[in-house]
A = this chain, B = another copy of it.
Amino acid sequence: MTLKLYVDRMSQPSRALIIFCKVNGIDFEEVKIDILKRQHLSPEFRDVNPMGKVPAIVDGRFKLFESHAILIYLSCAFPGVADHWYPADLSRRAKIHSALDWHHSNLRQGAAAYVLNTTLAPVVGLPLNPVAAAEAEKILSASLLKIESFWLKGNGPFLLGGFQPSIADLSLVCELMQLELLGDQDRDRILAPYKKVQKWVESTRKAMQPHFDEVHQVLMKAKTRFQMQRSAGANTGADSRGKLTSKM
């Protein structure tokens, strides 16, 4: 029975799972769960993941949610996955767990909350929140500094000095990619101080082509729509960000 991925390509951990399967030649069926249509809250999807969140998987009779847990499971369950993704070596594996755990309370909190409160909120029916955005930017910038100065301090281009990417590179870079939704000026302002981070994002992208760009197409289309709406707002003198209520 084919592995089923329950995903929305507008969700960054969903994109990470799809890219992982494609890069590693894992056969899967993509079951689209449209968050904007509230399909993640449907009884059918709650039977897959009672938490009502994407991504989730069903492998035979086995159900699993939480993207890091899924990436680890897929690395172990499919023998064709190369060791560098989730090394068997105890110490290297432990460091990857540490990076993934750190991600939860740092980069994810900063990046997701910043994009939500500056850009995405109106799309999901919430007001933009500059106070929450400022708080999130602090967490985001502190996280980027830690990636630059600690996680990327080794010899290789990937986290923990790796010469090939791990599931931690994939998860964290997909998180960062959502900054594409910001205006380019704002995104560049945030990322400018972190040269290693920028190189690492590019190295990770290159290591996972053509799948990385293909899976991010949905995000890049949304970026274009946000850009057009910002331009329209600037031309009329209105604050376009408050008007992003259209379907993305």
Residues of chain A touching chain B, judged by Cβ–Cβ distance below 8 Å, are: 50-51, 62, 64-70, 72-73, 76-77, 90-91, 94-95, 97-98, 100-102, 104-105, 108, 146, 149-150
Contact = CB atoms under 8 A, between A and B. Distances in A.
Contacts of A64: 94-95, 98
B51 A73 contact: no
Given A101-B66, A105-B104, A73 B50 contact: no
A29 to B, nearest CB: 19
Contact of A91 (B62, B70, B98, B102): B62
A28 to B, nearest CB: 16
B73 A94 contact: yes
A66 B150 contact: no
A182 B90 CA distance: 39
Main secondary structure of the interface of A (DSSP, over half): helix
A65 B150 CA distance: 13
A152 to B, nearest CB: 12
Contacts of A67: 101
A21 to B, nearest CB: 16
B90 A73 contact: yes
A90 to B, nearest CB: 6
Given A77-B90, A104-B104, A104-B105, A98 B150 contact: no
A69 B97 contact: yes
A52 to B, nearest CB: 10
A131 B19 CA distance: 40
